[in-house]
Amino acid sequence: MGATVIYLDNAATSWPKPETVYTTMDSFLREKGANPGRSGYDMAVAAEQVIEEARTLVARLFNIPDERDVVFTLNCTDSLNLALKGILHPGNHVITDSIGHNALVRPLRRLERDGLLVTRVPPSSEGGFVSPDAVRQAIRPATRLIAITHASNVSGVIQPIEEIGEVARKSRVAFLVDAAQTAGVVPIDVQASHIDLLALSGHKGPLGPPGTGVLYISKRVEVEPLKEGGTGTVSESEEQPLDRPSRYESGTLNSVGIAGLGAGLKYLLAKGIETIRLYELDLLTSLWEGLAANPRVTVYGPKDGADRVGVVSFRLLGWSPGEIGAILDQAFDIKVRTGLHCAPAAHRTLGTYPEGSVRASIGCFNTSDEIGAFLEAISQIARAEPVASARTQRTAQHTPSEGHEEGQLSWQRLPTT
């Protein structure tokens, strides 16, 4: 990776991290690397204090009234599986959207095979928003849960969770929000939005390392744990403890990862979510407008940055998404995501299935110069033509994947004039 790399794949994982994330994780392993909460000696106590501090920071960020309702998981997928499989049973009815990531879609499909009833509410054709009225009309006597993707990882559209949460509360239905793309990026208040279950990853907007996730579980819902085991509490009992968060945190936690997550959260809280949001909105506006100005580019999702997170998906006439991604990587050292983004349902809704799209997703460490360089690279590709064998060329070292399904590409770069 070159010194001038431009990273525009923050919707997959944020990079780089704040410097304090790196130093905190290093010092944690060197100085506090014992098993947290399992012993009374100083290192173990210090490790547990770091985890509990991170738990308090999560509660502060999302206005969670009791930090004991914050459960650490492996990632957002882990959180969603716990939320869905911990409360749903055959015969229950769930209302969800049709723009979700496979982290939400696949567990629901699995439960559906076992007798769960699912209604998928499509977004409006105008702005891509799920209508609270449509959600209200879909409620049945058997409805147990409303599960909403807060923001699409394909179109970036932010859903009106406060209004949908109001529908859920008035109907006495539990409300689950998949905040993988919004946590740490836009303000979320679990009390104002009547959220019962908030699932998020720690390695995206919260700026922590991979292998970290969170599930907030309101006291209004009863969630059965998916696993049992050692918790460091009530060790004399062979039954899983009922107290939170121990009930859901069996086994040794990713303590060094949670330490890094805590450092990321401190960075966010010091900078201010609103400040970061405004900064990213400026970059997002430049990115969207620059792409939309190119007549060969089709941009998906709303133009108004206030209605979306920093995710922009697009197609370039004459090129497949995989070809664009490979050229950006190999010729410009620009990192984007291409293909279906683990969200085929969203692409079917947008009409970009099965090839998908090119996705550029910004983060708080991107700059306006990087956005300009990206737009110039797209402009150059749009003016170029692939050589005759470009679509069939492969190298022995390259294995096609969702990200670069076309392999190594030859192309003719045109001079910038």
User: Where in the sequence numbering do the catalytic residues fall?
Assistant: 342
Report the C-alpha gap between 73 and 52 in whole angstroms.
14
Closest CA to 78 of 233, 217, 211: 211
CB 100 within 8 A of CB 84: no
To the nearest 5 percent, what fractions of the chain are helix, strand and coil?
Answer: 35, 15, 45
Evaluated on CA atoms 80, 85, 87, 92, the torsion sign reads positive
Report the C-alpha gap between 19 and 79 in whole angstroms.
27
Report the C-alpha gap between 71 and 321 in whole angstroms.
38
Report the C-alpha gap between 33 and 254 in whole angstroms.
11
Phi, psi of 315 (to 5 degrees): -125, 150
Work out the angle between the directed axes of helices 255-271 and 19-31 (0-180°, nearest 10): 150
- Other CB atoms within 10 Å distance of the CB of residue 31: 11
Task: Give, for 339, the enclosing helix (H) or strand (E).
Answer: strand 337-339
Closest CA to 73 of 230, 342, 261: 261
Question: Which residue do the tokens 């062979």 mark?
Answer: 238
Q: Which two tokens stand for residue 405?
A: 């399904």
**CA angle at residue 265 from 311 to 73, to 5 degrees?**
80
**For the chain, what is the largest distance between any 2 Cα atoms, rounded to a whole number of angstroms?**
76
User: Which residues make Cβ contacts (< 8 Å) with residue 396, sequence separation at least 6?
Assistant: none
